[in-house]
Structure 1
């Protein structure tokens, strides 16, 4: 069992063979933190904070080791030594160009957890040694209607995303497949020391992405809900639905996931190919959440909604094919909706809730050298259920 995260599936590398012990890493972080609240040397001010990670420099290219710099700490920044980084399907979409061209040589990763190594002079929410997380966002304007409501992803001036984005100063953002990150303290998430760190890391995206629509559409105890697609996001959604007291049915294309769905709390698991099951379930569901990352036919699922039922998709950013049959909406007064990620306050809320309730992602922990293999396995649905990179395996 891993002594860092208490995960029995994690078999860490032989530290003695590498010469990099956990004690040495902690000591190094402490030394960095104790030098000053802000970098003070002329070279640090001129060149930024050295960092290493894995980056991609062309669409569909493999990730490779990459040296770069993080900005020097501003007064409201914190420096996090990254311990774990989750692999989200969004990372793969971005690397493959599904959502547009790469803006620059890019380090992916927006499920990031580690320990605070240094803090800016005005930071009060964190101290050196605290656990902290970073999700999909690292900044927003902070002044528009949506930012003031805690809905930073919908910022009228455009949110700054953790990677493949420009920050407010024109610099490129780089994600969490790296040894450290600098972020505004107001966009960092506090992580309790009681958390299972590796298994909590995916909740910074998978947790908030599924929790936010449940909150918005007020999923509650006793409702009959459906979950379409049980991968990295979906398996977390089942646990969150169950925790709310909902009666959950999982719809999956993978026969091998049926038993897992029940283990996570679903009362039933149905294969997409089971037309008889779809027939008997018509007009039964109050709410259906889809985490499927590719366009698919939503019409058979709309027919499962009761009158005034709602279906929400969080994974598809492309046109739905085939199109929506309007009769499936009009004749049941049903709604087909979408949801993105949640704001920072809501992300903090789901992390706190999951730690308190013992809700975690099921993870496979891998060294950074297996990241390209992991990408292929995610696409082929060969992961149970979220890859998390042990960043101690990244050597400077």
Structure 2
């Protein structure tokens, strides 16, 4: 075991503060990684606040991790010491179920599903044995820390030419939007609508444009109009009734990236017949859908959850190939509580990334 430091919330109402804890050394098939950068996801805010009623405390967030391999366990073949790697939302899965064998570990059907990078198994807390889970690990701690140990398969290659700090949010925001674009077959020339232009939404615009789609972005924030236009999309204000009406039956695919409960009914009429709107931002019950609008044009409402390991590597490579990545603001870990407040208000352009070198400035308990 090795001692390291990270920032964690001890209660739903508490600020994140530095704590000291132990990381496992690299076992068979595992790698130890020194964390260099970690993205700040809106899910981190939800999880620390126990908005999904499944948080295990202390909760140490962070699932957009980029770092350097510092040690390898027996039998490791994918990585060498010194390699730059990325770790997303998962650090393990059963590896035996049908989704895992198909490379869709994010839909693992093992007893506890995939093992989350932080907060242990993604199941309600009352169903989780205290301090343990199906994989034999205690509550998992994430990337707001100095190091992490994971199975080698769950550490992905960072392509040359992709800056490490820019790569970090691609491991969640990138793959969460790329996966449904790929699964629903978005292709060059398709008209794609992106709803919500935050950390996920702005990456969805960039990826869809790179795939050759014609992109329209929907927002409620007038101050984002210029930013989104520069990303390569046409922008529509959601409260512009005439603009919304003019887009009826025009989209081949729509993706909602809004990270909380919202009404998608205004967007369903914009889909062409037989087309789909997918939700990736919200994980809580949504407002009911008007099935008459859905049924009369055989439209679909669907959901999608992050992405598998293969898809995550694909989107990293795609971003490197096209020279795209999230628009980021680097912050020290000491500003994380202020960053959470800004996220809640939507005052971010468009993703915070923590420089984990700042962690060394802290003294635990201060």
Residue 60 of structure 1, CA deviation: 2.9
Q: Determine the structure 2 residue equivalent to 1:33.
A: none
Q: Determine the structure 1 residue equivalent to 2:56.
A: 103
For 1:145 and 1:81, how far apart are their aligned partners in 2? 32
Deviations 1:66-90 (A, max 9, x none): 1001112102111111110000001
Indicate whether 1:338 and 2:293 are aligned.
Answer: no
* Aligned counterpart in structure 1 of residue 15 of structure 2, from 37, 62, 77: 62
Q: Determine the structure 2 residue equivalent to 1:317.
A: 283
Q: Determine the structure 1 residue equivalent to 2:211.
A: 244
Indicate whether 1:194 and 2:161 are aligned.
Answer: yes
TM-score, normalising length from structure 2? 0.93
Q: Secondary structure at the match of 1:332?
A: coil
Residue 221 of structure 1, CA deviation: 0.7
Q: Determine the structure 2 residue equivalent to 1:286.
A: 252
* Aligned counterpart in structure 2 of residue 261 of structure 1, from 228, 244, 247: 228
Residue 101 of structure 1, CA deviation: 3.9
For 1:227 and 1:369, how far apart are their aligned partners in 2? 33
Deviations 1:178-208 (A, max 9, x none): 0111111011111124211111110000000
Q: Determine the structure 2 residue equivalent to 1:176.
A: 143
Would the aligned equivalents of 1:119 and 1:127 in 2 still touch at CA under 8 Å? Answer: yes
For 1:283 and 1:89, how far apart are their aligned partners in 2? 31
- 1:1-396 equivalences under 5 Å are 48-157=1-110, 158-165=113-120, 166=133, 168-266=135-233, 268-321=234-287, 323-395=288-360
TM-score, normalising length from structure 1? 0.86
Structure 2 residues without counterparts, runs of 5 or longer: 121-132
Structure 1 residues without counterparts, runs of 5 or longer: 1-47
For 1:232 and 1:128, how far apart are their aligned partners in 2? 31
For 2:92 and 2:180, how far apart are their aligned partners in 1? 22
Q: Secondary structure at the match of 1:299?
A: coil
For 1:160 and 1:103, how far apart are their aligned partners in 2? 13
What is the RMSD of the two structures over their aligned residues, measured on CA atoms?
A: 1.0
Q: Secondary structure at the match of 2:138?
A: coil
Deviations 1:308-357 (A, max 9, x none): 11100001111112x10001110111011100011111111111111122
For 1:224 and 1:348, how far apart are their aligned partners in 2? 25
Would the aligned equivalents of 1:59 and 1:101 in 2 still touch at CA under 8 Å? Answer: no
Moved over 6 A (4+): none
Would the aligned equivalents of 1:139 and 1:167 in 2 still touch at CA under 8 Å? Answer: no
Range moving further from structure 2, 348-357 or 85-94? 348-357
